[in-house]
């Protein structure tokens, strides 16, 4: 069973290194899917909304990591 | 088969660069195994892993084309985003000096020292050498397989350019390994990872958007806009991280 556990953790680590980053990305994708489906008026801006959220998540995550590093 | 070069070009480039970085890391360990424990078993281990990886691509790639494209784009795009933004995050933190750069020369020395400490078999089959080469080639190769399959699943006819990009990277790394016979420590690995992270994040965003039914302005051309967007955001993130930790900022040379 150990090899199954190792293989699974290796597979997960392909996509998740910082749990908060992965959760934020998935939450944003879910939220975007729900909100954009309800508001047709956002149609021309849908792609921009998706990108801006992901960009903000990346900047916040790296900045938070850098700030945490300064505190050490 | 019609090839859309607006997708195929960046797909091939992303697969090439990502695979190149992964194969360079695998080469370091295989060189250490070969140098310390002998080349026959080191190469046999790597060869067996490469065959296994090719089988995975041959099975998974065409299988994904049987699933409706929107569903594949949503799932694969989401996974590409997780994968690409993980790479980009790490590359940003390395460029800002928050975490250490990957050093192939150090990795080679560490691996060699560990392998020397283990019992060496003379004449027979060296399981340690075979297993070490097999494991590193599988570990790094599985990332290559994911990139090739994911990039290939995003649209019709993209599996071929993605596979060609990865094969070209493999050929280049093998050729460099044979020629220089030591770890490729001068390769600007973090810059490559930075670029790959940007490309994968852009493709992931585009495909998730397609899967959600988003109509991108300029259609496929918006991929270039997303690449530029993620590149700009990543540069801003590096600058912000450097400002957040002024005392730890280091000059990045050669990577």
Parse chain A into domains and list their residue ranges.
17-70
Span B64-73, average pLDDT: 75
Max mean pLDDT among B42-46, B152-156, B215-219 falls in B42-46
B101 Rama sector, left if φ>0, alpha if ψ -120 to 50, beta otherwise: beta
User: ipTM for the complex?
Assistant: 0.89
C-alpha torsion sign, points A16, B109, B196, B251: positive
Residue B129 to residue B45: CA distance in whole angstroms: 7
The answer to whether the CB atoms of B88 and A58 lie below 8 A apart is yes
Structure confidence at residue A52 (pLDDT): 95
Q: Which of B81, B209, B233 sits opposite A25 (nearest CB)?
A: B81
pTM tops 0.90: no
Whether the pLDDT of residue B72 is over 60: the answer is yes
Residues of chain A neighbouring B96 (CB-CB closer than 8 A)? 62, 66
Span B49-53, average pLDDT: 90
Structure confidence at residue B254 (pLDDT): 37
Structure confidence at residue B143 (pLDDT): 85
Residue B39 to residue B41: CA distance in whole angstroms: 6
Could you give the count of Cα atoms lying within 13 Å of B97 in the half-sphere of its Cβ? 15
User: Which of B65-74, B156-165, B199-208 is least confident?
Assistant: B65-74
- The residue of chain B with its CA nearest to that of A53 is B205
Residue A49 to residue B217: CA distance in whole angstroms: 13
Whether the pLDDT of residue B2 is over 70: the answer is no
Q: Which two tokens stand for residue A46?
A: 């849908």
Structure confidence at residue B3 (pLDDT): 58
Max mean pLDDT among A55-59, B122-126, B189-193 falls in A55-59
Interface of A with B in 1-40 (CB under 8 A): 10-11, 14-18, 21-22, 25-26, 29, 32-33, 36-37
Max mean pLDDT among A35-39, B84-88, B174-178, B210-214 falls in B84-88
Query: Helix B127-153 crosses helix B5-37 at what angle (to 10 degrees)?
Result: 180
Q: Which two tokens stand for residue B102?
A: 């990957």
Structure confidence at residue A71 (pLDDT): 65
Span B193-214, average pLDDT: 91
Whether B137 and chain A come into contact, CB under 8 Å, resolves to: no
Query: Helix B69-95 crosses helix A2-15 at what angle (to 10 degrees)?
Result: 80
Interface of B with A in 67-106 (CB under 8 A): 78-79, 81-83, 85-86, 88-90, 92-93, 96, 98
Structure confidence at residue B253 (pLDDT): 37
Residue B57 to residue B180: CA distance in whole angstroms: 30
Nearest in space to B54 (alpha carbons), one of B174, B148, B192, B165: B148
Whether the pLDDT of residue B133 is over 70: the answer is yes
Mean pLDDT for chain B overall: 84
Q: What's the pLDDT band for B95 if we cut at 50, 70, 90?
A: very high
Structure confidence at residue B251 (pLDDT): 41
B220 Cα distance to chain centroid: 24
Q: Which of A25, A33, A70 sits opposite B82 (nearest CB)?
A: A25
- Kindly tell me the burial class for residue B172, based on how many C-beta atoms sit within 10 Å of its own C-beta (0-12, 13-18, 19 or more): middle
Structure confidence at residue B250 (pLDDT): 47
DSSP line for A14-64: HH-SSHHHHHHHHHHHHHHHHHHHH-GGGGGGHHHHHHHHHHHHHHHHHHH
Structure confidence at residue B121 (pLDDT): 66
Residue A44 to residue B25: CA distance in whole angstroms: 43
Whether the pLDDT of residue B255 is over 50: the answer is no
């Amino acid at each position: 069973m150990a090899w199954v556990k190792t293989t699974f953790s290796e597979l997960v680590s392909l996509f998740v290194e910082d749990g908060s980053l992965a959760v934020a990305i998935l939450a944003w994708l879910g939220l975007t899917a729900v909100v954009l489906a309800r508001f047709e008026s956002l149609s021309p801006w849908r792609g921009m909304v998706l990108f801006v959220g992901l960009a903000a998540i990346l900047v916040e995550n790296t900045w938070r990591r850098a700030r945490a590093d300064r505190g050490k | 088969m019609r090839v859309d070069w607006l997708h195929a070009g960046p797909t091939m480039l992303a697969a090439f660069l990502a695979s190149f970085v992964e194969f360079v890391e695998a080469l370091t360990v295989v060189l250490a195994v070969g140098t310390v424990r002998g080349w026959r078993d080191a190469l046999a281990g790597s060869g067996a892993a490469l065959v296994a990886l090719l089988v995975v691509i041959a099975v998974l790639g065409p299988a994904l084309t049987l699933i409706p494209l929107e569903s594949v784009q949503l799932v694969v795009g989401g996974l590409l985003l997780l994968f690409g933004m993980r790479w980009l995050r790490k590359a940003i933190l390395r460029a800002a000096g928050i975490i250490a750069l990957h050093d192939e020369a150090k990795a080679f020395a560490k691996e060699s020292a560990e392998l020397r400490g283990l019992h060496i078999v003379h004449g027979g089959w060296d399981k340690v050498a075979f297993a070490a080469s097999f494991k590193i080639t599988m570990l790094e190769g599985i990332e290559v397989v994911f990139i090739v399959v994911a990039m290939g699943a995003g649209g019709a006819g993209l599996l071929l350019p993605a596979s060609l990009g990865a094969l070209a990277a493999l050929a280049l790394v093998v050729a460099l390994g044979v020629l220089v016979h030591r770890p490729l420590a001068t390769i600007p690995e973090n810059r490559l990872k930075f670029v790959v992270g940007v490309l994968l994040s852009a493709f992931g965003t585009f495909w998730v958007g397609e899967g959600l039914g988003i109509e991108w302005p300029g259609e496929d051309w918006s991929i270039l806009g997303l690449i530029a967007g993620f590149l700009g955001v990543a540069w801003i993130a590096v600058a912000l991280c450097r400002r957040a930790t002024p005392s730890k900022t280091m000059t990045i040379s050669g990577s």
